[in-house]
A and B are shown apart, each in its own frame.
Chain A
Amino acid sequence: MTAVTPRGAKPKKVFSPRNIMLYGALVVFSLYYLLPLYVMIVTSLKDMAEIRVGNIFSAPVEITFQPWVKAWSEACTGINCDGLSRGFWNSIRILIPSLILSVSVAALTGYVLACWRFKGSEIFFGILLLGAFIPYQVLLYPLVIILREMGLFGSLWGLVLVHTVFAMPINVLLFRNYFVALPEELFKAARVDGAGFWGIFFRIVIPMSLPIFVVSGIIQVTGIWNDFLFGVVYTRPENYPMTVQLNNIVNSVQGVKEYNVNMAATLLTGLVPLAVYFFSGRLFVRGIAAGAVKG
């Protein structure tokens, strides 16, 4: 116990009143947080007959994966009945270019702001940061006009640009703060060796900054995947991302509600960010803490 110093009174007995209260509280809170996940999973594994007679907390008597199959490949939105898979692939096609473009633009801008300041660069940075606080609703229509002028309105690339724009403030800040902290001697040495702007960026800065690229990547993957508003505004129905399609499937008024299919679809949509979360662990925490404290 040298690395982490204990706080508060030292726990003496395992079953002291203090411990019972402490862990009791933690377990009760955990139940609140785990409840929806549990309910979604058990609902998605029951058939409709069982849902109608049972209660939502009971475990499935007979496990069926049919709702998952149906959610993925047969569920209907309007006239399309090819399931969530369409939205999934749209989201992938939106995610990959948005991720690459937003992270590279942010990294390059952060590099300029940290290492190659010019007159006025700090002012532009200030303006960019202010942008993080403007409600999206203020900028929705101006961006419609900009994209229409560029001929990108309704296309996947238009949405990619929108994600890149709104990702800039927070990600630029992350990269800038990380680059500023890199040792200065490296830059001096590189300059002496004749490396220029791009040489230093690609051969020194990027190889040294893997953690911050991962953090920024995590923020972007979850942010882009979970987006609903931009997807609905800037794409046409055939390009709708998964979240939009999910909402259309579940909240559609036609037909009989199939709650098990709905929950399977909901879980499917949450799967990508959940996987990112569980595999990245501490880096995710670091990413949101870093982003949150500054942004």
Chain B
Amino acid sequence: MSSARRARDGARPPIRLLRNLSSKLAAIPMVLVGLGVFVGGTIWTIVHSFTDSRLLPRLNWVGFDQYERLWNTRRWLVSIENLAIYGIVSLVLTMCLGFLLAALLDRKIRFEDTFRTIFLYPFALSFIVTGLAWQWILNPEFGIQSIIRGLGFTNFNFDPLYNPDLVIFGLLIAGLWQGTGLIMVIMLAGLRGIDEDIWKATRVDGIPVWKTYIVVIIPMMKPVFVTALVLVTSGIVKLYDLVVAMTSGGPGIASEVPAKYVYDTLFTRQNLGQGFAASTMMLVTVAIILIPWAYMQYREKRQ
């Protein structure tokens, strides 16, 4: 608060650095974490991705060798492909489902709190719990497949976690279950922020409700959608625990993801340089998504 600051400045201790001293001392953790960990750590990782570090980090430059090797590794390519499929499908479905649920809850219904509680509770659970629960439901021997076969459809096949072509969709079912509630809450907050008069006006004009949503409401909620988009994408890049719990990357390498590639390369295969190159690529991915968003935010603020 500027008033407190001004009052403080009025005292004017002789040395500039000592002015506001308690505040500067209290800011030490922020400076250490910001500069030491976030900036320092990122630079350190990027620098070491250009070395041939294996068991221990060392500064023996090899240029872009690690990156070349990375993009020639089948497991990395599968990881990237999986992340892209998972990312796009989960983005589209999370947004649609999140908005749909929010719109349903916003229709002035009874038991709104109950329904909201039901839709959101998975978000409180960890990805490990989520993954293990769905692993059990999708278990071909006991789960959905066996039940439907038991009904007489003996040729029914639904074993996404054991089918390399479908495994990513098995992950999606669980991921959506866990994450849509959050987007619903954000969308609901956005819907509640829309002026009641707009609804009245469209009703007077006789525009059907679904059309009002598409033509009027959704365009008005652009900032909310952008926020949700950034949130979902930054969550997708982190996708790791769910894969570990549900499939451990299998069958074979069919459900590997970049975050798991980095972890395994750094800590179990002890190929540090390679792991740093992979994590730097993850950072680049986030930056590509984030920079346009940051730019948009910045432009909006200036207007």
Contacts and interface: CB of A to CB of B under 8 A. Distances in A.
Contact of A293 (B118, B142, B186): B186
Contacts of B38: 127-128, 130-131, 134, 139
Contacts of A6: 108
A191 interface: yes
Contact of B125 (A197, A198, A270): A270
Contact of A35 (B26, B45, B137): B137
A138 B23 contact: no
Given A57-B147, A118-B20, A251 B248 contact: yes
Interface string A68-110: 0000000000000000000000000000000000000100110
Interface residues of B, number: 102
A152 interface: no
Nearest to B121: A277
Contact of B189 (A130, A138, A168, A293): A293
A116 B8 contact: yes
Contacts of B139: 56, 259
A6 B107 CA distance: 8
Contacts of A115: 1, 4-5
A276 interface: yes
Nearest to A142: B41
B69 interface: no
B166 interface: no
A274 B109 contact: no
Interface stretch (A22-30, A59-67, A206-214): A22-30
B96 interface: no
Interface residues of A, number: 102
B1 A114 contact: yes
A138 B279 contact: yes
Given A133-B290, A137-B259, A270-B125, A116 B4 contact: yes
Contacts of A263: 132-133, 136
B120 interface: yes
B119 interface: yes
Given A7-B199, A9-B209, A124 B37 contact: no
Interface string B254-273: 00001100110011000010
Interface of A: 4-9, 11, 22-23, 25-26, 29-30, 32-37, 39-40, 43, 51, 55-57, 105, 108-109, 111-118, 121, 124-125, 127-128, 130-131, 133-143, 145-146, 165, 168, 172, 180, 182, 184, 187-188, 191, 196-198, 200, 222, 225-229, 232-233, 243, 246-247, 250-251, 259, 262-263, 266, 269-270, 273-274, 276-278, 281, 284-285, 288-289, 292-293, 295
Interface of B: 1-5, 7-8, 19-20, 22-24, 26-27, 29-31, 33-42, 44-45, 57, 101, 104-109, 113, 115-130, 132-137, 139, 142-143, 146-147, 150, 177, 181-182, 185-186, 189, 196, 199, 203, 209, 227, 231, 234, 237-238, 240-241, 244-245, 248, 258-259, 262-263, 266-267, 272, 275-276, 278-280, 282-283, 286, 290
Given A135-B259, A251-B248, 5 more contacts: A6-B108, A56-B139, A109-B27, A228-B126, A228-B240
